[in-house]
């Protein structure tokens, strides 16, 4: 993906911080080799564990090296920075229905269209929809329509790097991260944060658990009062991964719920 204005702004503001640290860029789409056998404690997403097959059936891996979630059976919600603008696009492959990307049961479907958030310029508004050539027979993930659930502990999941600079993963990894309020997150990121459009999460004191490169576009979610998964965030950016004092930054889904719904209906969803 090309660098965006905000990408440059962030990296400039960060001074000596490596370009990669603030990168909104999706990771390369290659998968890591199979994990070491034999009792190793696997550390994944960053600081997570392997998800079971079927545990998060709405999770999708996108071929440009991002994650996503099934908003509808034929529409994937991902990050704006994972796509190149809007319009017809048959270049993306979505892999669905598996935790292990090499599982022979993986369902692979091509994209037909992309709709990037209107007004997206690299700061905030980091959401996009990808229309698929055919529906995937998996449950969808409901999005939060209000800020009711923008608190508590969140689940994150993805096939991205298991540490800063780490490899993309073959197996879906999951972890839990606590909500971080805007004022606290602003202390970490200053004006790079767009508080009304972004929601932060992470273990401020210790670090150690976070999404990372290649997890972008994937969902951050929790249970609602009815015990159903509900999506509150989209993996967007952070300074490095899992650093103490540097929470992960996620698109605040509730802010854009109406826009996402409208965009989906434009895609025939």
Catalytic residues: 81, 126, 216
Give the residue from 66, 107, 56 showing the smallest Cα distance to 215.
Answer: 66
**Residue of the chain from 241, 260, 263, 267 that contacts ligand ARG (CB under 6 A):** 241
Q: What residue has token string 């696997």?
A: 42
Q: Which residue number places its CB atom closest to ligand ARG?
A: 238
Kindly state the smallest distance separating residue 21's Cβ from ligand ARG, in Å: 9
Q: What residue has token string 């508590």?
A: 152
220 binds ligand ARG (CB under 6 A): no
**Closer CB to ligand ARG, 131 or 203, in the complex:** 203
* Separation of alpha carbons 20 and 239, rounded Å: 8
Residue 235's alpha-carbon distances to 3, 59, 124, 200, 226, in angstroms, are 17, 13, 12, 10, 24
**Closer CB to ligand ARG, 213 or 255, in the complex:** 213
**Residue of the chain from 116, 216, 254, 255 that contacts ligand ARG (CB under 6 A):** 216
Give the residue from 136, 156, 257, 259 showing the smallest Cα distance to 211.
Answer: 156
78 binds ligand ARG (CB under 6 A): no
Q: What residue has token string 């492959």?
A: 93
**Closer CB to ligand ARG, 92 or 212, in the complex:** 212
Environment class of residue 34 by beta-carbon count within 10 Å: exposed (0-12), middle (13-18) or buried (19+)? exposed
**Closer CB to ligand ARG, 111 or 269, in the complex:** 111
Give the residue from 251, 13, 268, 255 showing the smallest Cα distance to 128.
Answer: 251
* Separation of alpha carbons 227 and 48, rounded Å: 22
Of 25-33, 56-64, 106-114, 134-142, the segment contacting ligand ARG by CB under 6 A is: 25-33
* Separation of alpha carbons 35 and 72, rounded Å: 32
Strand 229-237 to strand 248-252: parallel, antiparallel, or no bridges (unpaired)? Answer: antiparallel
Tell which positions 158-187 bind ligand ARG, by CB under 6 A: 160
27 binds ligand ARG (CB under 6 A): yes
State the CB neighbour count (10 A cutoff) for residue 105: 8
> Could you tell me how many residues of this chain bind ligand ARG (CB under 6 A)?
18
Of 24-32, 104-112, 143-151, 179-187, the segment contacting ligand ARG by CB under 6 A is: 24-32
Kindly state the smallest distance separating residue 215's Cβ from ligand ARG, in Å: 5
**Residue of the chain from 47, 68, 248, 269 that contacts ligand ARG (CB under 6 A):** 248
State the CB neighbour count (10 A cutoff) for residue 27: 21
Of 88-96, 114-122, 184-192, 206-214, the segment contacting ligand ARG by CB under 6 A is: 206-214
Q: Which tokens hold the place of 240?
A: 């490095």
213 binds ligand ARG (CB under 6 A): yes
Residue numbers of the site for ligand ARG (CB under 6 A)?
23-27, 160, 210-216, 235, 237-238, 241, 248
């Amino acid at each position: 993906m090309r660098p965006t204005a905000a990408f440059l702004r962030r990296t400039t503001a960060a001074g000596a911080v490596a370009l990669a640290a603030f990168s909104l860029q999706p990771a390369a789409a290659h998968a890591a080799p199979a994990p070491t056998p034999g009792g190793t404690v696997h550390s994944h997403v960053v600081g997570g564990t392997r998800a079971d097959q079927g545990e998060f059936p709405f999770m999708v891996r996108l071929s440009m090296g991002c994650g996503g979630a099934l908003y509808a059976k034929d529409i994937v919600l991902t990050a704006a920075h994972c796509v190149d603008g809007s319009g017809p696009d048959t270049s993306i492959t979505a892999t669905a229905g598996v935790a292990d990307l090499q599982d022979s049961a993986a369902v692979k479907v091509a994209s037909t269209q992309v709709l990037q958030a209107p007004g997206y310029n690299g700061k905030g508004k980091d959401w996009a929809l990808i229309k698929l050539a055919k529906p995937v027979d998996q449950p969808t993930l409901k999005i939060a329509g209000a800020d009711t659930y923008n608190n508590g502990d969140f689940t994150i999941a993805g096939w991205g790097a298991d540490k800063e600079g780490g490899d993309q993963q073959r197996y879906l990894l999951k972890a839990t991260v606590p909500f971080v309020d805007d004022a606290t997150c602003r202390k970490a990121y200053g004006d790079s944060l767009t508080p009304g459009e972004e929601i932060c999460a992470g273990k401020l004191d210790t670090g150690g658990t976070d999404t990372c490169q290649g997890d972008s576009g994937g969902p951050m979610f929790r249970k609602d009062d009815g015990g159903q998964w509900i999506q509150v965030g989209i993996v967007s950016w952070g300074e490095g991964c899992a650093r103490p004092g540097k929470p992960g930054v996620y698109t605040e889904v509730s802010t854009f719920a109406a826009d996402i719904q409208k965009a989906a209906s434009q895609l025939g969803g």
